[in-house]
Amino acid sequence: MRNTLRLLLGALTAAALWTAPAAAQSLAPRETARILAPGQWQIGLFNPLRYGLQWVEIELHPLVFLAAPHVDVKVPLSSTHPDQWQWTAHLGVGVPTLGWRLPKPLGLAGDLVPSCKVAEVDPKAAGWCKRPGWLVVPKLGVWATREYSHDAGGDGYSTMTLRAEIASGFAVSGAEAAPLDAWGPVDVQLAPQVGRTRAQLRAAVDHRVLDGLRLRAELGGYWVSRPAGDEAVSPWTMSVYAGLDLRATAHTRLTLGAMVYDLDRRQQVLEKTAEGFDKYTYVRSHEVWPTVDFIWTY
Partner 1 sequence: MKPVLLAAVTAALFACGCEPLADPQTYDREPAPIFRRSTVVAAPAVAAPARIKIVAWNIKYGAGRIPFWFDCWGDRAHMTKAEVDANMAKIYEAINELDPDVLIAEEIEVNSRRSAYVDMVQGILEHTKLNYATFASTWNSKYIASEGVGRIHLGNAILSKHKITKAERIRQIDRSDQDALTAMFYLHRALGRAEIEVATGKKVAIWAVHTEAYDNDGTKQKQIAQIDELLAKEPLPFVVGGDFNELPPVAARKQAFMDERETAVCSADFTQPPYTPEAMQRFYDKLVPAIALDRYGKTELEQKRYYSHSVLGPDEVNDNGEKGFWNRTLDYLFASKGTTWQVGSTDVAQQAGQKIGGDNGIGPVLKTDPVRLSDHAPVLGTWEVP
Please give the residue ranges that form the binding site for partner 1 (CB under 8 A). Answer: 110-119, 121-122, 125, 127-131, 178, 180-183, 227, 229-230, 232-233, 265-268, 270, 273, 275, 277-280, 285-288
User: Closest CB to partner 1 among 79 and 280?
Assistant: 280
* Rounded least distance, CB 260 to partner 1, Å: 9
Q: Which is nearer to partner 1, 111 or 155 (CB)?
A: 111
Q: Write down the least CB distance from residue 107 to partner 1, Å.
A: 13
Closer residue to partner 1, CB minimum distance, 75 or 118: 118
Other residues' Cβ atoms within 10 Å of the Cβ of residue 261: 23
Burial of 34 (0-12, 13-18, 19+ CB in 10 A): buried
Q: Residue 241: which of 257, 263, 221 has the closest Cα?
A: 257
CB of 248 to partner 1, least distance (A): 27
How many residues comprise the chain? 298
Nearer to partner 1, 2 or 54 (CB): 2
Spatial distance between the Cα atoms of 85 and 204, rounded to a whole number of angstroms? 14
Minimum CB distance to partner 1 smaller for 60 or for 68? 68
What's the first-to-final CA gap in the chain, in angstroms?
A: 35
In the complex, least distance from residue 170 CB atom to partner 1, rounded to whole angstroms: 21
> Least distance in Å: CB of 268 to partner 1?
5
Q: Answer whether 208's CB lies under 8 Å from 174's CB.
A: no
Question: Could you give the angle at the alpha carbon of 177 between the alpha carbons of 172 and 178, nearest 5°?
Answer: 155
Residue 224's DSSP bridge partners are 198
| Residue closer to partner 1 (CB basis): 153 or 290 | 290
How many Cβ atoms sit within 10 Å of the Cβ of residue 260? 14
CA distances from 201 to 50, 163, 166 (A): 22, 6, 9
Query: Considering the complex, what minimum distance in angstroms separates the CB of residue 209 from partner 1?
Result: 26
